Amino acid sequence: MNPRPIQLNVFGAIGFGVLFLAVGLCLLASGLPAATPTIVIIDPGHGGQDGGAAESSAPLKEKDLTLALARKLAEVIEREGVARALLTRKEDQTLSLDDRAGFANNRGGDLLISVHVGNSFRPSAQGLSLYHWSSAFRDPVATPMTGPAARWENGQLLYWEQSRRLAGLLEQELRQSLPWPSGGVIEADLYLLRRVAMPAVLLELGSLNYPPEAADLARPSFQEAVALAVAEAVRRFPQVRVLPAAQ
């Protein structure tokens, strides 16, 4: 019997143990969660009777593009091993904003990305913009909501800072990947974002009234580029994630 392999295994186990302990201590010291988001909720805007924006010169509707983009996002996020992706709708159906918020909250989502396509009065480039809710919109004297959705009224209150950071990552990755201008990161009191208890952003892409952007949005290679940029931002998110903000 040769004792050397046993000795190497013992020291190997000790070495790995020390390494894992050191990594854990570093994460604790930094205040950053070690876990990568495991469930990404992707919300294709509009649907069913709500067509959203429409292209003036062709029957291209926002509800169809958001669904195609959302499906591609889910495919790429899972293909790249970033997270599990769930869609609030998988087909052309009508969903209320409360239905969408309820889906995200009840499925235990780690973050939410709502996908929309823009429109403009003039046929000009709109590029991309990221929206997030902010505590600046909190109204302490607002009339409380009633009904089943009331418990989600202030769902975003603890997560808005994380949402801001997620929006910044998405804007950075998309701006680097797409040949479009960027409207930057925008604070807005959007109904859906305010009512989800997780980091949440709304991504608005292009204008259906601007033919070059409408053509880009309908092209599979462009949708793939969008999805890869979003997946990379989601992958990077744990590195800048912060603990939930205090009320």
pLDDT less than 50: residues of the chain: 1-34, 141, 247
- Where does the chain show beta strands of DSSP type E? 39-44, 84-87, 111-118, 128-132, 182-187, 200-207
Distance (Å, whole) CA 223 – CA 239:
26
- pTM over cut 0.75: yes
Structure tokens at 158: 């603890």
pLDDT in tens, 214-233: 999 999 999 999 999 999 99
Q: Are 68 and 93 in contact (CB under 8 A)?
A: no
pLDDT at 2: 45
- Residue carrying the six token digits 């570093």: 26
Backbone φ, ψ for residue 26 (5° rounding): -65, -40
Contact 72, 226 (CB under 8 A): yes
Q: Does CATH place domain 36-240 in 3.40.50.300?
A: no
- Rounded to an integer, what distance in angstroms lies between the CA atom of residue 148 and that of residue 143? 16
The Cα–Cα gap between 77 and 83 comes to: 6
Which pLDDT does position 154 carry in this prediction? 83
Would you state the structure tokens that stand for residue 156, as one six-digit string? 């975003």
Average pLDDT, the chain: 83
> Which of helix, strand or coil describes residue 193?
helix
